[in-house]
Copies of this chain bind each other. A is one copy, B any other.
Amino acid sequence: MELFTYYRSTSSYRVRIALALKGLEYQAKPVNLLKGEQRGEDYLALNPQGRVPALRTDDGALLVQSPAIIEYLEEAYPQPALLPTCAKTRAQVRGVAAIIGCDIHPLHNVSVLNQLRQLGHDETQVNQWIGHWISQGLAAIEQLIGDDGFCFGATPGLADIYLIPQLYAAERFNIDLGGYPRIRRVAALAEQHPAFQQAHPARQPDTPN
């Protein structure tokens, strides 16, 4: 498999964790978002939305959007499972993933922040915007995840795959995590976990020296 990725992209980071948790090998194809490579002709021919991540499967299909890619990995490579077996519990796990994927991250995506800058907002206002959405989302998640282990149990799964990259973004934007002890517990566990370490933005082929 080939993964079109950018080291600091939150949604690429999610897919990297899923691949690492499942022990799947892949070739990283870095797309430099700062240089605008995602809007280059070559990349747009592959992925008309011009975003990362995108996954090229072993038989050549190109899959886009991290939620779709991760569900694909779960279906095509079921072990170890990223989701529990009970439909209701699966929905609870997917609910936390969706709070991050639909209600937090889209609002501080680089394209959105650039749009705010074009509207004349300075970096203080942009950072307040980011802080508002991240804090609001994390406060809900703190109430929805479990009391010990990862978000939902002793082993990491879909919710953790979304949460850890979101916390990396929270740290970049100086969000205070003091009020979220459950979330901090999950973060501490992930920090020690080889799959999360391997997927970290600091350790990618396109990470600047």
Name A's B-contacting residues (CB within 8 A): 48-51, 57, 59, 61, 63-69, 71-72, 75-76, 87-88, 90-95, 97-99, 101-103, 105-107, 109, 112, 115, 119, 121, 125, 129, 132, 137, 139-140, 143-144
Q: 28 A-B Cβ contacts within 8 A?
A: A48-B143, A49-B103, A49-B137, A61-B88, A63-B91, A63-B92, A63-B95, A64-B99, A64-B144, A66-B98, A67-B67, A67-B102, A68-B91, A68-B93, A68-B94, A68-B95, A69-B95, A71-B91, A72-B87, A72-B88, A75-B90, A98-B101, A102-B102, A102-B106, A106-B106, A107-B107, A119-B121, A119-B125
Q: How far is the CA of A106 from the CA of B63 in the complex (A)?
A: 22
A140 contacts across to B, CB distance below 8 A: 48-50
Bound-state Cα–Cα, A174 to B95, Å: 31
Residue of B nearest to A64 (CB): B95
How far is B205's CA from A147's CA once the two chains are assembled, in angstroms?
39
Q: What is the distance, in angstroms, from A70's C-beta to the closest C-beta of chain B? A: 9
- Count of identical protomers in the assembly: 2
Please give the distance in Å from A181's CB to the nearest CB on chain B.
16
Task: With a 10 A CB-CB cut-off, give which of A48, A49, A63 has the most chain B CB atoms.
Answer: A49
Tell me the bound Cα distance from A20 to B109 in angstroms.
34
A140, closest chain B residue (CB): B49
In the complex, what residues of B have CB within 8 A of residue A59's CB?
88
Chain B residue contacts of A75, Cβ below 8 A: 87, 90
Q: A94 near B106 (CB under 8 angstroms)? A: no
* Residues of B close to A67: CB separation below 8 A: 67, 94, 98, 101-102
| Cα(A99)–Cα(B106), bound, Å | 11
